[in-house]
Structure 1
């Protein structure tokens, strides 16, 4: 007498292939439909050049001056070189001593854009939120004087 061998039953389970397909489709959909907003690290309020600047408060300003050659001056002291690390170190020391005084950047009209951007980047990395850029008014005087 010949008995049939017991048939092996397939274990019940969930097929994950369609689930993985759906997850990939959702991932692609969200990647394609998402807009990426890039926010600036520095929140800057530019003074108006066509009218008199308004007095913000009575605190003293920390001056960063960029001359036509791209040299930096912090509160009247010239930095030993033009490196960003030097500007960051000197400005950090001034901020430690002066607390939360606002910063004004005065750049020569013929100074390179890169020099001004470096100064703004350093100010942002040091966590300063009150930053102004000095301009000349219609009468030729500095708008923040």
Structure 2
């Protein structure tokens, strides 16, 4: 009688189900832990001014100009720094809504031409409610300010 060895028929196989589970958990982890805040991506130093913040700023179309003069509309970057490229990006993001308020946020170190180009593109597209974002003015503490010396005192 011949005894057959069944171990030779067993072929090794790779089970992909645990591998797929691990990859899905990693994808979910990275999606959940990623922040989608535009303010954290760009570091802008806004010019300072006195005034109260506008209530319409939350619904406004955000146009950012960084210190190098590159444009960002909401979360999309304009490919080039010319007017036509900026207009195309604005139209892609805003669509046909020209009554929407626009908040122009430019870095304090931005070249003046870049801000004028953004205003020109917005004007050519028909936007009329344009606000320029500023940072609140830094108030000097009265106790920390140097006091003037009396008239007869010498240094």
TM range (shorter): 0.5 to 0.7
TM-score by length of 1: 0.56
2:137 is matched with which residue? 138
> Structure 2: which 5+ residue stretches go unaligned?
1-47, 140-155
Asked if structure 2 preserves the Cα contact closer than 8 Å seen for 1:102 and 1:130, the reply is yes
**Residue 35 (structure 1) aligns with:** none
Q: What is the CA–CA distance in structure 2 between the aligned matches of 1:107 and 1:59, rounded to whole Å?
A: 17
What is the distance in 2 between the residues matched to 1:136 and 1:59? 16
Question: TM-score normalised to the size of structure 2?
Answer: 0.53
What residue in structure 2 maps to residue 50 of structure 1? Answer: 50
97 and 59 in structure 1: CA distance in 2 versus 1, 3 angstrom threshold: farther
CA RMSD, aligned part only? 2.3
Q: CA deviation at 1:135?
A: 0.5
List runs of 5+ in structure 1 lacking aligned partners: 1-47, 141-145
1:56-97 C-alpha deviation (Å, 9 max, x unpaired): x48611111000000000002222221211101111222216
Name the residue aligned to 1:61.
Answer: 60
